[in-house]
Structure 1
Amino acid sequence: MSGVEIDALPVGVVRVDRDERVVEANAWFRRWLAEEPTGRLLSEILVPVPDFLEGAGRSSRMMSCPGHPERAVLVTRAEDADGAVLTVMEAADRYASGTRLRNLHGLADRTQSRLQLIMDASIAFAAATTEERLSRVLADTASQAYRAEESVVMLFSESGVLRRTAGTNPFEHTIPEFTISARVRQMREVVKISGEADAERLSPSLAEAMRTAGVQAAIVAPLHLEDVSLGLFACFFRHPRVFDDEASPLAEALAGQAAQKLATLRLERRLQHAAMHDDITDLPNRRSLEDLPSLGDHTPASVIFIDLDGFKEVNDTLGHDRGDEVLREVARRLQENLREGDVVARYGGDEFVVVCGADAAAAVEIAERVRAAVGEEYTFLPASLPIAASIGVATARVGDGLLNVDRLIRRADQAMYAAKNSGGNQVAIAD
């Protein structure tokens, strides 16, 4: 190659010998490399990098300085007897354009995958019938969406206690629950933490917890509905992680869907409870007794029917609010004096029913205990308005076959009227 001629070219020209060592390079290439290439191996000054504009320049190869892919050039190689001659052209703009195009394609692919993920999650959320199942779906979906090593879902119970309902929490033993609970109630936006510096800006204790747990990044999304905090989900990464622009919208979409389903589940549960429970005493109601199964032939079972003596006088004299207070107190005393497994319900008005697995003798003993408890003093009532109980007991006879609970209730009701007609405040046993 003639030095004068090749130095005038607007491209780089490099000759290498058969050992791939640079023998000669023109002025353009030396300026581009910013150091002397002669005598060096070609692999020390040029390495292949991806060419993202596929199909263009198939005879050329995209290369760059080692460690600096942005300093890209297109290299065309012509072999000869002594080695090869390389033509080198500036391609930094092409490389940058290709990189942007690749990133856009990658973002489009991720967006499509995430949209599909959201649709799949929506179907799975809709099928969830319990908070625990909903939490597992959310934890698994979030972990998959962000390729996280760990994920956790924490929900506030209806009594206001934050508890883990799915997944694992690497900070469980380093950050107190009351601290997490207080922060969750204040959260309204997705929080992305990429590295210790991000964590330190949020909270030194969080940064320390991440170091202790070996967590290098995290994304946390609050679950809230109409400014009511329901909980959160979080993903944790034990490798460096930088979140793209789609990370927060994805978390918001998942959190929004989960919050809506959680609110629906809780509303359904409240409606179910209201349908099967008395609104004054919160005891099961008459309808719930109708759903009790029939009693088996060899299962000792009894019904205790309780009617309050003196309740009408309280209502007429002091009003229904004080009467409701009496009902709540009676309900409390009944629950305190029954055994585990016994069912007590408010049957209607001032009537209560107890269904228990007991023979006649045990049922009478329970009934007498209940009668004594109901007849004790009510501190919020005047002595002139005492409360007592007329009680009827009916027991299923062994050998009668399947006995419907409703039949036992009717027999106990008849016995209760016998007790009331005999002066009240006593227990009568059905025939």
Structure 2
Amino acid sequence: MDVCDVDSLPVGVIRLDREDRVVAANAWFRRWAGEDVIGRPLRDTLVPVKDFLDGTGQYSVMMAAVRDPERAVLAVRAADGDGAVLTVMDASDRYVSGQRLRDSFALADRTRHRLQLIIDASIAFADATSEERLSEILAAAAAKAYGADESAVFLFDEHAHAHRVAGENPLDLEMSAAAITDAARQLHSVVTITSRAEADGFAPELGEAMQGAGVRALIAAPLEVEGMTLGVFACFFRHPRVFDAEAGPLAEALAGQAAQTLATVRLQRQLEHAATHDETTDLPNRRRLDEIARQVDHARAAVIFIDLDGFKDVNDQLGHDVGDEVLREVAARLRQHIRDVDVIARYGGDEFVVVCDADAEVATEIAARLREALSEEYSFLPAGLCVGASIGVAIADVNNGVLGIDRLIRDADQAMYLAKGRGGNQIAVAGLAVGAG
């Protein structure tokens, strides 16, 4: 090629040999690509960009500069003997604009995908009826949203300790439970960590733990409702990860929806608990006792009916607040002295009922332990005010048809009145006096 004939052209002209090496180039292209282009393979200078073919894609192709991602030419190739001639014109503006347009389309596509993911997660959250199920849904949704290698959901207990409820935490073996809790407590907004320095700056043990676990990046968000943090979720990556501008808002949306549902699940659980438990002692109430009683083997059932002695004097002399304190202490002592298989409930006022799977001998032994425990001193009561217990016991009697829990409660209640009528602080078993013990 006679370069002199083409040096004045406002476009580039390049001759290539059969191996696609540049054997000649006019002045325009040498200025554009550099004088060292001669003798080099074309691929060291220009590479086709398949996404930017012209209308037909047959005659010209966009080619980007290898060493400068924002420079490109539009090239037309023609065979020439054993090689080819390439005519190029600068198309950097078009290339950059197209690249930005493609990035915009890609971002819009990711946004649509993430919006659909949020909608799907919201629907799934609404069906969750437990904290565990909600956490499983959140862990799966977060992992899918970010393409994470692992994800985990941590919830705080009543002592503000963080516990993993769902997902996998790759830092478990590298970071103490106390350090995980401390890191979770200080998380009040979405955080992304992509380097050891960022990890060290966020939590003392985090950087070393990530390095030890092979975690290269993470994103985490708090589950907050009305300023109260209920837990956190985190996604972990074992490869370098760059988070785009949508990563934070997506995490906030997922965390916000999950937190609202979590608060609703907890409120529902509290309401259900309140409906079946006594507010003062937190023992099952009469309604819950009826539900539990239906599951008891009535043929082996025994009922212990407890009525406090001296409780009215406490209320009259010291007030209902102290009376409530007595009831709470009574509940604690009863819990401590019954078996795991026994059921205890506050029946009303200062009355308590224990349902046992026991014969007469075992039920009487349990009643004796309870009477003794309730008769012990109450440290917060002044001298002269004593609390004890009159107890009635009724045992299922197959031969006489005494099987229903309701019937047993009535019989035990009558036996309790017999014990109280004999001076209190003693036990009576279905018409048979057992004594004060």
What TM bracket, shorter-length normalisation?
Answer: over 0.9
SS of equivalent residue, structure 1 residue 292? helix
Cα distance per residue 1:82-127 (max 9 Å; x no partner) = 5322111112112111111111111111101101100110111111
Is the 1:345–1:353 Cα contact (8 Å) retained in structure 2? yes
Is the 1:22–1:38 Cα contact (8 Å) retained in structure 2? yes
Partner of 2:5 in structure 1? 5
Name which of structure 1's ranges 81-90 and 351-360 shifts more when overlaid on structure 2: 81-90
> Could you say if the C-alpha distance between residues 292 and 69 of structure 1 is closer, same or farther in structure 2, counting changes exceeding 3 Å?
same
What is the deviation of 1:182? Answer: 2.9
Partner of 1:406 in structure 2? 406
Distance in 2 (alpha carbons) for counterparts of 1:61 and 1:301:
89
Distance in 2 (alpha carbons) for counterparts of 1:306 and 1:146:
59
> Could you say if the C-alpha distance between residues 401 and 115 of structure 1 is closer, same or farther in structure 2, counting changes exceeding 3 Å?
farther
Is the 1:51–1:95 Cα contact (8 Å) retained in structure 2? no
Is the 1:295–1:301 Cα contact (8 Å) retained in structure 2? no
> Could you say if the C-alpha distance between residues 394 and 53 of structure 1 is closer, same or farther in structure 2, counting changes exceeding 3 Å?
farther
Distance in 2 (alpha carbons) for counterparts of 1:399 and 1:119:
62
> Could you say if the C-alpha distance between residues 320 and 17 of structure 1 is closer, same or farther in structure 2, counting changes exceeding 3 Å?
closer
Is the 1:51–1:98 Cα contact (8 Å) retained in structure 2? no
What is the deviation of 1:407? Answer: 1.9
Is the 1:297–1:403 Cα contact (8 Å) retained in structure 2? no
Partner of 1:242 in structure 2? 242
> Could you say if the C-alpha distance between residues 403 and 109 of structure 1 is closer, same or farther in structure 2, counting changes exceeding 3 Å?
farther
Is the 2:14–2:86 Cα contact (8 Å) retained in structure 1? yes
Partner of 1:229 in structure 2? 229
TM-score normalised by structure 1 residue count: 0.93
What is the deviation of 1:372? Answer: 1.8
Partner of 2:347 in structure 1? 347
Partner of 1:62 in structure 2? 62
User: Aligned letter for 2:273?
Assistant: H
Distance in 2 (alpha carbons) for counterparts of 1:108 and 1:296:
60
1:23-38 matches, cutoff 5 A: 23-38=23-38
Distance in 1 (alpha carbons) for counterparts of 2:284 and 2:413:
18
SS of equivalent residue, structure 1 residue 101? helix
Partner of 1:115 in structure 2? 115
User: Aligned letter for 2:315?
Assistant: N
Partner of 2:434 in structure 1? none
Is the 1:184–1:229 Cα contact (8 Å) retained in structure 2? no
Cα distance per residue 1:324-345 (max 9 Å; x no partner) = 2221222222122211211111
1:68-107 matches, cutoff 5 A: 68-107=68-107
> Could you say if the C-alpha distance between residues 330 and 205 of structure 1 is closer, same or farther in structure 2, counting changes exceeding 3 Å?
closer
What is the deviation of 1:230? Answer: 1.2
Name which of structure 1's ranges 278-287 and 16-25 shifts more when overlaid on structure 2: 16-25
SS of equivalent residue, structure 1 residue 109? helix
What is the deviation of 1:287? Answer: 1.3
What is the deviation of 1:56? Answer: 7.0
Partner of 1:371 in structure 2? 371
> Could you say if the C-alpha distance between residues 68 and 356 of structure 1 is closer, same or farther in structure 2, counting changes exceeding 3 Å?
same
Partner of 1:175 in structure 2? 175
What is the deviation of 1:58? Answer: 4.8
> Could you say if the C-alpha distance between residues 340 and 381 of structure 1 is closer, same or farther in structure 2, counting changes exceeding 3 Å?
same
Is the 1:53–1:98 Cα contact (8 Å) retained in structure 2? no
SS of equivalent residue, structure 1 residue 397? coil
Partner of 2:315 in structure 1? 315
> Could you say if the C-alpha distance between residues 188 and 54 of structure 1 is closer, same or farther in structure 2, counting changes exceeding 3 Å?
farther
Partner of 1:387 in structure 2? 387
1:157-168 matches, cutoff 5 A: 157-168=157-168
Is the 1:301–1:396 Cα contact (8 Å) retained in structure 2? yes
What is the deviation of 1:297? Answer: 6.5
Distance in 2 (alpha carbons) for counterparts of 1:279 and 1:194:
49
1:147-162 matches, cutoff 5 A: 147-162=147-162
Partner of 1:286 in structure 2? 286
What is the deviation of 1:357? Answer: 0.6
Distance in 1 (alpha carbons) for counterparts of 2:382 and 2:36:
109
> Could you say if the C-alpha distance between residues 297 and 192 of structure 1 is closer, same or farther in structure 2, counting changes exceeding 3 Å?
closer
Q: Percent identity of the aligned residues?
A: 62
> Could you say if the C-alpha distance between residues 371 and 83 of structure 1 is closer, same or farther in structure 2, counting changes exceeding 3 Å?
closer
User: Aligned letter for 1:182?
Assistant: D
Cα distance per residue 1:164-192 (max 9 Å; x no partner) = 11112222233333333233333221111
Cα distance per residue 1:56-95 (max 9 Å; x no partner) = 7652012234344433111101224453221111121121
User: Aligned letter for 1:396?
Assistant: A
Cα distance per residue 1:293-318 (max 9 Å; x no partner) = 43676741100001112211221222
> Could you say if the C-alpha distance between residues 248 and 56 of structure 1 is closer, same or farther in structure 2, counting changes exceeding 3 Å?
farther
Cα distance per residue 1:248-307 (max 9 Å; x no partner) = 000000000111111111111222222111111111111111112436767411000011
Name which of structure 1's ranges 415-424 and 277-286 shifts more when overlaid on structure 2: 415-424
> Could you say if the C-alpha distance between residues 384 and 47 of structure 1 is closer, same or farther in structure 2, counting changes exceeding 3 Å?
closer
Coordinate RMSD, CA, aligned? 2.2
Partner of 2:331 in structure 1? 331
Count of aligned pairs between the two proteins: 431
Is the 2:333–2:373 Cα contact (8 Å) retained in structure 1? yes
Name which of structure 1's ranges 150-159 and 194-203 shifts more when overlaid on structure 2: 194-203
Structure 1 regions of 5+ residues with no counterpart?
none
Is the 1:297–1:402 Cα contact (8 Å) retained in structure 2? no
Structure 2 regions of 5+ residues with no counterpart?
432-437
